[in-house]
A and B are shown apart, each in its own frame.
Chain A
C-alpha cells in the first residue's frame, strides 16, 4: 500500500515536473543553437571580456568563461581544461576563475529548469548572478592582499 502510493505520487510528481521542464527546454535549446549559428558566442565572449576586466581577471579567460557560463561545467570541461593548461595562469587567477564558474555555470539550462518549477526566470537569474559577482569580486580583493602581504602561497 505504502509502496503503491509512493509510486503513484512520486512518479506523477516527477513526470509532471519533467514535462514542464521539457516544454521550456526544447524551444530554448533550439534557440541557443540558432544563436550559436549566428555568432552569438563571439558576442557573449566580448561581453564577458568586459566583466573580466572589472573582476581583474585576464581577458584571455573570456572564451572558456563564456562557454562555461552558457553551456555548463561538465559539457565545456574540455574547452576549459585545454584553455587553462595552454596558457600561464597564476594560481590566483585560476582560483578566481573557478570560484566564478563554480557558482555560475550552465545558467540557461538551470534557469529554465527552475523557471519550469514555477519561479520567475528573472529572479532565478538574479539570485545567482548577484552573489556570484559579489563573491568573486570580494575574493579577488582577498587573494590580492594575500599576494601583496605574502601570506598566500604564490607560485
Chain B
C-alpha cells in the first residue's frame, strides 16, 4: 500500500512541477494547487498507512489499542488543506487581477516590476512609492 502511495506522490509531484514550469499563469496556479495536495498525501503516507480502526481511546484506558490509525498526520493535513485553500483563493484573484491589469498571462512578458534595460535606458516606469 505504501509503495503505491509513494509512486502516486511521485507522479503527482512530477505533474505539478510540469504544470508550474509552463509559461502561463493559470497553469502555474493549478500546478501550485496540485503540489500542495501532493505534500498532504506525502504527510499522510509518512504517518503510516497500517491503521485499521479509528484512534478512539476505549473507556478506562489511556491510549488507543495497537493498530489504531495515526490521528496526527490527519490533523496536520486538515490544517494544511485549510491554509492551501485560502492561499489558492488569493492566488486565483491575484492571477486574474494581474491578467486584467497587465493584459498578459505569460510571466515572461510581465516586465512592470523589472523593466528590460535596453541600450542604457529604462523602458517603462519602475519607480515605486508615490504614483
A and B physically associate: no
Chain A residues with a Cβ under 8 A of chain B: none
Chain B residues with a Cβ under 8 A of chain A: none
